[in-house]
Structure 1
């Protein structure tokens, strides 16, 4: 698979890039958390999104491959190009997708999303999830994704809105530690509330047929498996991972964090409820105007 500029093979690292700015970090625990998140959110992220066999699909910001597995499972026989700026993540992703039944050809590329090494109009479809919120300028990334998408090709983008969390019993301490996570992500150069900007952002980037819909994950005692997989194995570890940063920065105290994390865990137990809203956007690259 050689779709890079100048005939580059995608398995190569095409340029040195920085992996800084991702507030959740790159520890092995984060890769495990992302896998739990992908499994628990498969319906939210992938329902209604399938690609024909043989399609050339770009996964922008594949991370450790947690979503790659679901893409390859839902759309067997596609030719997937997965890109990320972190070499370690690409290595984990490559190992994760080995042996996925029915998986087509997969290429790997280390690159920045705002400067992709592909010609214009290369890909039939582009998929990006939980990535734009971590970009310093997500608008530039969307414009670049539009460039490499063929006319008439589709873009699917999914982002979560951490400010939409609801839980019972309610907890000021839990809300405080979530707010500290949101602030740290912003200080790292991201935009943790980008999900609510999807429609105007996609429109400004020049896409057509833009449609954005909310998709909510809700757990209670009647959904114990989802509560464990999403709340306990994914969301709580994501928040807990920034505890040391928040305390060191003076945003919260260790005692507040202990109470907040305990209350978040309680929302996944008997008598508790938890919900979080995600936004999924669909759009297309316009076809050329007909000749007069």
Structure 2
């Protein structure tokens, strides 16, 4: 068993709440079109604290889920979260390394991955490892963001620089905060077929106060704020420039501000006659 990935946002209680806010706010946007038949076996790879698990089981109450994560602490939180809010859900929890999954070939009918590949140094190999445990003809769903898609009003070079600090920190940790734009070639290179990638865009302004609070403030800005100390320690910014950038980001959540971000959702099929794993 490998140790947990170098998750740039950390494993704090604050981060767990942020992940929950993100999942709840974006559930309709990200999970629309994702539902699994009763009795089907679904693997959620990298379930974290169960923020997405709760929405998966709500949309597919008859499916049988196996939720996997490398972190025992995150799994414990996920189990408690789902058992509290969806006690009838059919979920088996398993601590496992994504690259060394302890399941037979073709064990699952469907695989779901959300906000995981961005943290991995070898996302294509992870997709290939998932393909091994997916039955021929089974489906893969992957959702990732792309911090390079961020734009807002009023515009600010300081705010963009703060966002770039997170992008650079994640790259240093072996991940890719711009991975959304790469989903189609990544999934295709891992051997999947019928690959379709579509954007899921969040656009917030004063006419959508729930999104302004749930996404712009509680999800995105909170995510950037969480890396302040790391950005300063790495010499990527100064305290004054950082604080200016965060203040300017908050202006995008004010009454005269707007904020825009794009997620990418890929759906693909494991070939009926699988070739070599990518």
Q: TM-score, normalised by structure 1?
A: 0.91
Give the alignment partner of residue 230 of structure 1, picking from 215, 235, 240: 215
Range with bigger deviation, 133-142 or 109-118:
109-118
User: In the alignment, does 2:260 pair up with 1:275?
Assistant: yes
Is the Cα contact below 8 Å between 1:77 and 1:103 reproduced in 2? no
CA distance in 2, matches of 1:67, 1:130: 10
User: In the alignment, does 2:131 pair up with 1:146?
Assistant: yes
Give the alignment partner of residue 42 of structure 2, picking from 57, 60, 69: 57
CA distance in 2, matches of 1:146, 1:233: 34
CA distance in 1, matches of 2:119, 2:152: 25
The structure-2 alpha-carbon separation of the partners of 1:20 and 1:99, relative to structure 1 and needing over 3 Å to count, comes to closer
CA distance in 1, matches of 2:250, 2:27: 22
Q: How does 1:97-108 map to 2 (within 5 A)?
A: 97-101=82-86, 103-108=88-93
Residues 146-205 of structure 1: CA deviation (Å, up to 9, x unaligned): 110011110000000001101000011110010010000000011222211111111111
Q: Following TM superposition, by how much is the alpha carbon of 1:259 offset from its aligned partner in structure 2, in angstroms?
A: 1.1
Give the alignment partner of residue 77 of structure 1, picking from 49, 62, 70: 62
Q: Following TM superposition, by how much is the alpha carbon of 1:17 offset from its aligned partner in structure 2, in angstroms?
A: 2.5
Residues 189-225 of structure 1: CA deviation (Å, up to 9, x unaligned): 1122221111111111111110001110010000011
CA distance in 2, matches of 1:104, 1:201: 32
Number of the residue aligned with 2:117: 132
SS of the residue 1:133 aligns to: helix
Number of the residue aligned with 1:195: 180
CA distance in 1, matches of 2:25, 2:260: 13
User: In the alignment, does 2:227 pair up with 1:242?
Assistant: yes
4+ long deviations beyond 3 Å = 99-104
Is the Cα contact below 8 Å between 1:72 and 1:103 reproduced in 2? no
CA distance in 1, matches of 2:12, 2:71: 12
CA distance in 1, matches of 2:202, 2:256: 17
CA distance in 1, matches of 2:70, 2:28: 27
User: In the alignment, does 2:160 pair up with 1:175?
Assistant: yes
Number of the residue aligned with 1:112: 97
Residues 3-46 of structure 1: CA deviation (Å, up to 9, x unaligned): xxxxxxxxxxxxx3211411011001000000011011112210
Q: How does 1:21-60 map to 2 (within 5 A)?
A: 21-60=6-45
Number of the residue aligned with 1:219: 204
SS of the residue 1:41 aligns to: helix
Structure 2 unaligned blocks of 5 or more: none
CA distance in 2, matches of 1:141, 1:57: 17
User: In the alignment, does 2:245 pair up with 1:255?
Assistant: no
RMSD: 1.2
SS of the residue 1:24 aligns to: coil
Q: Following TM superposition, by how much is the alpha carbon of 1:101 offset from its aligned partner in structure 2, in angstroms?
A: 4.4
